[in-house]
Amino acid sequence: MKKDVREIEKKFLMQTYARFPLILERGKGCWVWDTKGKKYLDFVSGLGVNALGHSHPRILKALREQAGKVIHVSNLYYHPYQGPLAAALAKITGMDRVFFCNSGTEAVEGAIKLARLYASRRGKKKFEVVALKNSFHGRTFGALSATGQEKYRKEFEPLVPGFRFARYNDVEHLESCITENTCAVLVEPIQGEGGIFEMSQEFMEAAASLARRNHAVLICDEIQCGLGRTGDYLASKHYRVRPDIVLLAKPLGGGLPLGAFLAREEIGALFQPGMHGSTFGGGPLACRVALEFLAVLEKEKVLKNVRKTGEYFRRRLLEMAAKYPFIREVRGRGLMLAIDLAIPSRPFVQMAMDRGFIINSTHDTVLRFLPPLIVEKKHVDALCKMLDEIFANTPWEPAGKSV
Ligand SMILES: Cc1ncc(COP(=O)(O)O)c(C=O)c1O
């Protein structure tokens, strides 16, 4: 650990992150290296961003070429890549119109504005959004107001009015939250930060039909679960439900900050010049790289790998759950997987790091795995062998006694 970096950060950065003592310097494929030259197998991929792993040759080539041409032009002018990227995204998502921003939270903000605009154009002064308990949608005021977790909200109130929270997978409760003032129902098909919880088929269908019946829009936040993570371009496709608005970010820019919200024609066509905008959103560098990212997903059959390796990984985790009684549950789909423990999960992150693996802990007891979508069986085997070793040395007493 280079001490000076830590000290400089401690003095000059607002201390919003409880970082692990690790300075990462470079990456290749599923591997990253720290400043001492130690290598780690990356099962976090920058929180779902580095879907093609690190330093993918095609991403690097596109990045270098485009950086040498033009990096930024603003949205006052055209450039060659924003239109084609919008067309490519429309094709894979089944949406019609796209707006580009720079992050997930901005995609949420834009979608809320669009949902309110759609309601008001239909002559309805309705503005309420029904989101879900335990959700995570971001940190800015609109997105934070849509986030159903007290710990993120409580110091910043009052938040934006008009948000209600339904219980996940509870159709009756969802129904009771929707009123004549509801303009949108906002869901993550698989809650990510909340600890990897999949929406049931029944709940997703109910969310879509309740939204439709009440002239509200269904917004699917696919910022974490979209763009291949679950083995399809959208997690909502597994439910055979077509949302009205879809939110994307994380892997879209191949590591560069890029987000997007996409909508059906009738909704997306409502924005007129001046109603929404972004200085950086959809710039030539990020769009050129995003096009390359989508091309690689298709050319290298990455989604097929997600389905195959994800299934194998899930099986291996289930085997481990059968062996260790403190693993309460295995959850998730594709390469968005988690194990829920009956004991705190964060200590395992450090143990894994000491052994050359990067994994993530969320919600106190959950170990979340978001490897690059190009991860292979041999990497999964290596991770599971390491987990098996540390679990085998974990003292455990059944409920009622201390661990
Ligand atoms: C489902 C979901 N929505 C929104 C966000 C916010 O995205 P960002 O951190 O890019 O603002 C996240 C980030 O983790 C997320 O997982």
Over the stretch 148-179, which tens digit does the pLDDT of each residue have?
A: 999 999 999 999 999 999 999 999 999 999 99
Q: Is the same domain home to 34 and 93? A: no
250 a catalytic residue: yes
Q: Is the same domain home to 78 and 51? A: no
Q: Is the same domain home to 350 and 284? A: no
221 a catalytic residue: yes
Ligand 1 nearest atom to the CA of residue 192, by list position = 16
Number of domains in the chain: 2
Q: Is 181 exposed, middle or buried (0-12, 13-18, 19+ CB in 10 A)?
A: middle
Query: Whose C-alpha lies nearest to ligand 1, atom 8?
Result: 104
Q: Is the same domain home to 22 and 145? A: no
Last residue of a domain, one of 248, 265, 299: 299
User: What pLDDT score does 397 carry?
Assistant: 80
Dist. CA 104 → ligand 1 center (Å): 5
* Bridge partners, residue 128, by sequence: 182
Q: What are the pLDDT digits (tens) for 260-280? A: 999 999 999 999 999 999 999
Ligand 1 nearest atom to the CA of residue 250, by list position = 10
Q: How many whole angstroms separate alpha carbon 115 and alpha carbon 103?
A: 19
Average pLDDT over residues 253-258: 98
Q: What are the pLDDT digits (tens) for 214-241? A: 999 999 999 999 999 999 999 999 999 9
Residue 400 domain-assigned?
Answer: no
Q: Is the same domain home to 247 and 138? A: yes
Q: Is the same domain home to 70 and 148? A: yes
Residue 88 domain-assigned?
Answer: yes
Position 133, amino acid: K
Dist. CA 70 → ligand 1 center (Å): 28
Q: What are the pLDDT digits (tens) for 32-47? A: 999 999 999 999 999 9
Residue 175 domain-assigned?
Answer: yes
Q: How confident is the model at residue 3 (pLDDT cuts 50, 70, 90)?
A: low
User: What pLDDT score does 403 carry?
Assistant: 44
Q: How confident is the model at residue 401 (pLDDT cuts 50, 70, 90)?
A: very low
**Boundaries of domain holding 189:** 58-299
Dist. CA 147 → ligand 1 center (Å): 10
Dist. CA 143 → ligand 1 center (Å): 9
39 a catalytic residue: no
Our mutation pick for probing the ligand 1 site, out of 16, 135, 193, counting the most ligand atoms within 8 A of Cβ, is 193
Last residue of a domain, one of 253, 271, 299: 299
Q: Is the same domain home to 309 and 215? A: no
Is the pLDDT at 125 greater than 90, yes or no?
A: no
CATH number at residue 51: 3.90.1150.10
Which residue of the set 42, 43, 203, 221 is catalytic? Answer: 221
Q: How many whole angstroms separate alpha carbon 105 and alpha carbon 81?
A: 23
Is the pLDDT at 292 greater than 70, yes or no?
A: yes
Our mutation pick for probing the ligand 1 site, out of 219, 224, 234, counting the most ligand atoms within 8 A of Cβ, is 224
CATH number at residue 156: 3.40.640.10
Average pLDDT over residues 284-301: 98
| Distant-in-sequence, close-in-space partners of 36: CB < 8 Å, separation ≥ 6 | none
Residue 375 domain-assigned?
Answer: yes
Dist. CA 37 → ligand 1 center (Å): 31
Query: Whose C-alpha lies nearest to ligand 1, atom 4?
Result: 137
Residue 403 domain-assigned?
Answer: no
Q: Is the same domain home to 360 and 258? A: no
Q: Is the same domain home to 279 and 335? A: no
Q: Is the same domain home to 305 and 376? A: yes
Dist. CA 401 → ligand 1 center (Å): 38
Residue 397 domain-assigned?
Answer: no
Residue 401 domain-assigned?
Answer: no
| Ligand 1 pocket at CB < 6 A | 103-105, 108, 136-138, 188, 192-193, 221, 223-224, 249
Last residue of a domain, one of 299, 320, 351: 299
Q: Is the same domain home to 93 and 28? A: no
To the nearest whole percent, how much of the chain has pLDDT over 90?
A: 96
Is the pLDDT at 351 greater than 50, yes or no?
A: yes
Q: Is the same domain home to 178 and 306? A: no
Residue 118 domain-assigned?
Answer: yes
Is the pLDDT at 202 greater than 90, yes or no?
A: yes
Our mutation pick for probing the ligand 1 site, out of 16, 45, 105, 258, counting the most ligand atoms within 8 A of Cβ, is 105
